[in-house]
Amino acid sequence: MRKLLIGTFVSVLLIAYPKSVQAFDGAEGDGFNAEALCLPGVYINDNSSECLVLGSAEYQTTRAGVELSIATLPDRYLATDENYGKSDNKYIWLDKDANLKIYYSLDKAIYSETSDGNFPGGFSFATFQYREDIGGKSYYLLENGTWIKGADVLREVSPTPFRGVITNGLTPVRPFGWVLYPAETFKGPGWASPKSGNSLTRYDVIEVFDTVNYQGYDWYQIGIDEWVDQRWVALVFPNETPPEGVKNSRWIELNLFEQTTAVYENSKLVFATLTTSGSDRYFTRPGLFKITEKVETTSMGGGVEDNGSDRYYLQGVPWSMYFDEARAFHGQYWHDHLGYQSSHGCANLSFADAEWMYNWAEVGDWVYVWDPSGQTPVEEHLFTQLIDD
């Protein structure tokens, strides 16, 4: 009976005082504030309220704000045009343990015991024009007009369909980014919190509404009672202040810790995406650089170990933008590790993102590479070698 009476009394208050309940009007200096406390409700679009949005009102208003932001998320982050990243090239991954013999004609590839040379060994990928299947065996005509046996091919590969986002020059007000691998969110920060029952998939776009550090790791609130460990996501932290040394309000920022790239024009964020930069041994060097050269298609290769264990050769690398000696932003088709370090020093992008940046960038544009964790060295180191076709 008491519960029912309390409920009725609260209902009367809600009718009589739809916006607030007056706080205790104590005498001056007794520790009470005469300002009103808001009852639970939504005040996001009402700036006329003079009440304090605290307690239950604060919780409901915060939830409503997150709900409103989530509802408009797709409108703020738009995928690049679907025409970006299209290529007529086809690609194969070659067996590094094979001899990788090449032949000047299909007949020689089928019948001759003598080859006309060898394809570079190691971690190697080639572009091909078409495949010929004869007598249960496959043969590939490479872009340079030579043939290679299908027995030396591990498999045909395709570039990742991932696409970054454009913001139409409206810099987001909070951090945002992408999910790196499938996971279930938690209802609060920390592994001790119960799971929410909601799952994330790789490349989902998320926004961050709050951050709490738990046992040395940041946990991000990305929805109503939904939290994720920082290691699950890669974020962009919008910052319209140009890096020191940039005077024209136009630059590219590569965040090595987050593995994200952000593009600014007129000091407004216009594009952002996931990146794969150099691994520990071949780290991408932090610093302020300029784009020195743009190459639509090229081959890349390198390796510094005497035994050739780290040798690689990549044909048909598209939309390269060199900014630090042989280090470049460029498209890649040989992995889907976006969001993780694994390159030989370059900044790998999806085809769509590489073409978008290639069209946007100009020789002389600034490139700011940094690691907010401070863990990446800044001195000279091993790096990839360029091989021009």
Is pLDDT at 31 greater than 50 in this prediction? no
252 with 275: CB under 8 angstroms? Answer: no
Where do the domains of the chain lie? 2-56, 90-157, 174-235, 238-387
Is pLDDT at 47 greater than 90 in this prediction? no
For range 67-71, the mean pLDDT: 49
DSSP state at residue 61:
H
Is pLDDT at 278 greater than 60 in this prediction? yes
Beta strand extents in 114-175 (DSSP E only): 117-118, 123-134, 137-142, 147-149, 153-157, 165-166
d(CA 159, CA 312) in angstroms, rounded, equals 18
How confident is the model at residue 239, as a pLDDT?
Answer: 95
Q: Got the DSSP string for 213-237?
A: EETTEEEEEEETTEEEEGGGEEEE-
| β-bridge partners, 294 | 321
241: left (phi over 0), alpha (psi -120 to 50) or beta: beta
Is pLDDT at 37 greater than 60 in this prediction? no
d(CA 291, CA 289) in angstroms, rounded, equals 7
> Of 25-34, 74-83, 128-137, 164-173, which one has max mean pLDDT?
128-137
343 with 277: CB under 8 angstroms? Answer: yes
Strands 90-94 and 101-103: unpaired
Of 4-8, 239-243, 280-284, the range with the lowest mean pLDDT is 4-8
Average pLDDT taken over every residue of the chain: 83
Of 1-10, 63-72, 262-271, the range with the lowest mean pLDDT is 1-10
Q: In this predicted model, what pLDDT tens digit does every residue of 135-149 receive, in sequence order?
A: 999 999 999 999 999
- Model confidence pTM above 0.85: no
Backbone angles phi, psi at 228, to 5 degrees: -135, 150
* Count of alpha carbons within 13 angstroms of residue 259, beta-carbon side: 26
| β-bridge partners, 101 | 118
What is the sign, positive or negative, of the torsion defined by CA atoms of 121, 125, 128, 130?
Answer: positive
Higher pLDDT, 298 or 37: 298
Q: What number does CATH give the domain 238-387? A: 2.40.440.10
Token pair listed for 371: 């690691």
pLDDT band at residue 6 using 50, 70 and 90 as cut-offs: very low
For range 186-200, the mean pLDDT: 95
d(CA 190, CA 352) in angstroms, rounded, equals 36
How confident is the model at residue 17, as a pLDDT?
Answer: 33
7-45 per-residue burial string, b: 16 or more CB within 10 A, e: under 16: eeeeeeeeeeeeebeeeeeeeeeeeeeeebbbbebbbee
For range 248-264, the mean pLDDT: 97
> Nearest Cα to 46, choosing from 18, 22, 12?
18
> Nearest Cα to 278, choosing from 352, 186, 361, 347?
347
Q: In this predicted model, what pLDDT tens digit does every residue of 169-181 receive, in sequence order?
A: 788 989 999 999 8
For range 355-372, the mean pLDDT: 97
272 with 165: CB under 8 angstroms? Answer: yes
For range 252-267, the mean pLDDT: 97
pLDDT band at residue 192 using 50, 70 and 90 as cut-offs: very high
> Of 21-30, 93-102, 326-335, which one has max mean pLDDT?
326-335
d(CA 218, CA 258) in angstroms, rounded, equals 13
Is pLDDT at 5 greater than 60 in this prediction? no
At the top level of CATH, which class does the domain 174-235 belong to?
A: mainly beta
